[in-house]
Amino acid sequence: EGSSFEIMTAACSSAGRLELKQQRPAQNNRLIMARIVQKFGGTSVADLDRIRAVAQRVKAEVDAGNQVAVVVSAMSGTTNQLVEWATDIGPVHDAREYDVIVATGEQVTVGLLAIALQNIGVDARSWLGWQIALQTDDIHSSARIKGIDVAQIEDRLMQGQVAIVAGFQGISPEGRVTTLGRGGSDTSAVALAAALNADRCDIYTDVDGVYTTDPRIMPKARKLDQITFEEMLEMASAGAKVLQTRSVAMAMRHKVHLQVLSSFSDEPGTLVIDEDDVMEEQKISGIAYSRDEAKVTLVSLPDQPGIAATVFGTLAEYHINVDMIVQSASADKQNTDITFSLGALDLDKAVDCLEAIKNKLGYQALVADPDMAKVSVIGTAMRSQPGIARTMFSVLAEKGINLHVISTSEIKISVLIDSDYTELAVRSLHDVFGLETA
Ligand code: ASP
Ligand code: MG
């Protein structure tokens, strides 16, 4: 995770949050309350009525005296359709053209929202990634943001104009359109908020916040009022889909005040905050899961230096992301087994490339299992409370759930299990940690 993101306007980079108000006390004879980035996801802009409703939400912030920049996704379903076309036309040899296609969904929604705003008397202008310019590297289809030149947009905000920025897209050093990976408009919004030194970044979605777990499989799931950046990061990377993982990492680095809330209700959302600002005691915050996991075991590898480096070096060369890894202790100092988990979509590729170097590695057998799920317990309580792993493993054992791989971080314990047991594991863990009551 490089922190190469730089803020390119001199005017903004050192201005504190309060300084903004002091610098520019009036805009169209009104007091500027705050500078806000609002982000609306695909379901929030799914049709014209919803776009009109979004325009009203934007207008409300403008009427309150705020400077507003808006980031939008494509209408829900659009990007899936575009990806399908891009991959069905024939093998994609050139990801630059893939990006040209899949980036178009957001061009439609920025234009529509600009018109909707203009029609209710709000001065608004749309901006595509290349126009602002949101600069990325050249890793097409999963590009990383390098910097944003917000000078122009800042100017417009100062004049009281709403800037509507297409999420998900940027421009490569070559000057070609890039995209940031699925769900990337969250990251666009956070990057823009950081570059504009915004007071808040409000992520509007179709759920009214971050839940203790997925309410679709656990109706007793509870909305969290707040969650720390670290917990949110672990939740996102462990499979909770509410925010793109990279957006959380970026918000944490740049201390962006992030809020997740629903565009369909006026309920308060979930604040994502610094651990230092948390008033409550350390606790278990949530149970996350991801079903699309697979497992590979290399049986009986020679127990020698360099073997693991060759296995994982080869996978890395093929851009295969590995998640959990265990190596069994070798009883006889001759052979060990290595087991790792990875995304199910990468399984075939991983098996191919490990079979290709079977002789070099000298393993006896390769066992692959495509039907795995990862279930994780997340919370800052792990820093201070002993016994959380015991509670977790005991309840899973009582339910007869076998653990294939275990991994931990300071605030997370994850287990790899057969995917058939996902719901049972999530519900039992939610119960045993008492998450339905705050
Ligand atoms: N429209 C893009 C996607 O579906 C980006 C986003 O919605 O965040 O992945
Ligand atoms: Mg999203």
pLDDT digits (tens, 9 = 90+) for 6-54: 443 323 333 323 233 334 445 555 566 899 999 999 999 999 999 999 9
Residue with tokens 């997925």: 214
Cis peptide before 133 (omega within 30 of 0): yes
Minimum CA distance residue for ligand 1 atom 5: 183
Ligand nearest to the CA of 242: 2
Per residue in 339-386, pLDDT tens?
999 999 999 999 999 999 999 999 999 999 999 999 999 999 998 889
- What are the b/e assignments for 363-385, b being 16+ CB within 10 Å? beeeeebeebbbbbbbbbbbeee
| Residue 165, token pair as written in the block | 């920025």
Encoded amino acid at 322, one letter? V
**For residue 186, how far is its CA from the centre of ligand 1 (angstroms)?**
8
Ligand nearest to the CA of 244: 2
| Global confidence as pTM | 0.84
Q: Give the mutation target among 40, 43, 73, 188 for probing the ligand 1 site: most ligand atoms within 8 A of CB.
A: 73
Atom of ligand 1 nearest to the CA of 80: 4
Q: Give the Cα separation of 412 and 396 in Å (integer).
A: 16
For the chain, what percent of residues have pLDDT higher than 70?
92
Minimum CA distance residue for ligand 1 atom 9: 182
Q: Give the Cα separation of 223 and 435 in Å (integer).
A: 10
Q: Give the mutation target among 99, 185, 243, 244 for probing the ligand 1 site: most ligand atoms within 8 A of CB.
A: 185
What residues does the ion ligand 2 have nearby, CB within 5 Å?
A: 41, 183
